[in-house]
Structure 1
Amino acid sequence: MARVLVLYYSSYGHTAQLADAVAQGAREAGAQCDVRRVPETAPADVARQAGFRVADHHEEIAGIEPLRDYDAIVVGCPTRYGRMASQMAAYWDQTGALWASDALVGKVGAAFTSTASQHGGQETTLLSILTNLLHMGMTVVGLDYGYKGQMGVDEVKGGAPYGATTVAGSDGSRQPGEADLAGARHLGERVARTALKLAG
């Protein structure tokens, strides 16, 4: 059985919803899946003024060393000016010992994100996450076009070949739609199935 970690940071809950959907897809594909979050690094007054929903997240904080124990790691965070949020970047900046020992080489990696608008940096944020995973020697899985729910322009929806996404709206009021959540589940399933094949 493949072990999958869904590792996320979420300010307002949108990325957390995608994390749960990714985990659901991985479990439905037969993987054991843990969901962990990275610590909040913004000062408390900044988080409060911005309305961050820190208290809503009850998953355990992820350690660095336990990354060695997973066959696949799916990383998600919101965009910050078209790139990975600093909270997630700070976490990966602590993984030098894992990089130096090739601890994650050959494991499966994937990414997901949330942005305020459809053109708010979804693809660049996904690529900034995937860059870290590639430096670690991981085998990257994207949200392939086998998932047709990301196609079309009939509604606002997320999705990119680089990973699962959602659009939160400038005020955060838009919640992930079914197309977005189904894309995240599809990504989780693909990651789990790929990890199982590589382990076999």
Structure 2
Amino acid sequence: MGRPKEHGAQTRAALLSAAAEILHAEGAAAVSVRRVAAAVGTTTRAVYSLFDDKDGLLRALSVDVAETMRRHHEAVPSQADPIAEIVELALAYRAAALEKPKLYDLFFGTVRAGATQADPLFALVYRSFERVLSVVRRAVADGVFAGRAEFDVGRGLFALVHGLASLELRGVLGGEAEAVAIWRQSVGAMLTGLREPPA
């Protein structure tokens, strides 16, 4: 009979939660194996056993938020109208950011020039973007975004939802109803502009 794991899922979740709290409040430099272990009331051995080191702990947090983004994006059903589908995808981005508010900046930090899908973490991040690109691709092919470049449209939408999420997480967009209205208005206005021939 195999030896039972000394540190299980409950300890892992507690360590990730503690690391997320420290990361959100003080930044990555403040996260240490010793401090995270102390916050949970366990030993550093537990952290090393589950995550290898601090970098492994931070990577696990990055995977957690990237998987949340992927789950929300891929849960959006396909629609005949690409405009309506893109609006729902934007709101899926919002939902993911609100589900993991303390990890949002960590998620966005994985998006950088030179990132490659050879890295499994970035490949996971890219799945959310590809879900949006798949609809944009269809809209370009169908003439909805006539004359537009698929990647440019996707990148512009990403810039917009990132800005909206960043502002909402800092309390700038007001309450729930007001924030949703601003999201819908902003995304809708951009999509209306994209339907016009490019200058």
TM-score by length of 2: 0.29
* Larger relative contact order, structure 1 or 2 (CA cutoff 8 Å, min sep 6): 1
More strand by share: 1
Structure with bigger gyration radius: 2
More helix by share: 2
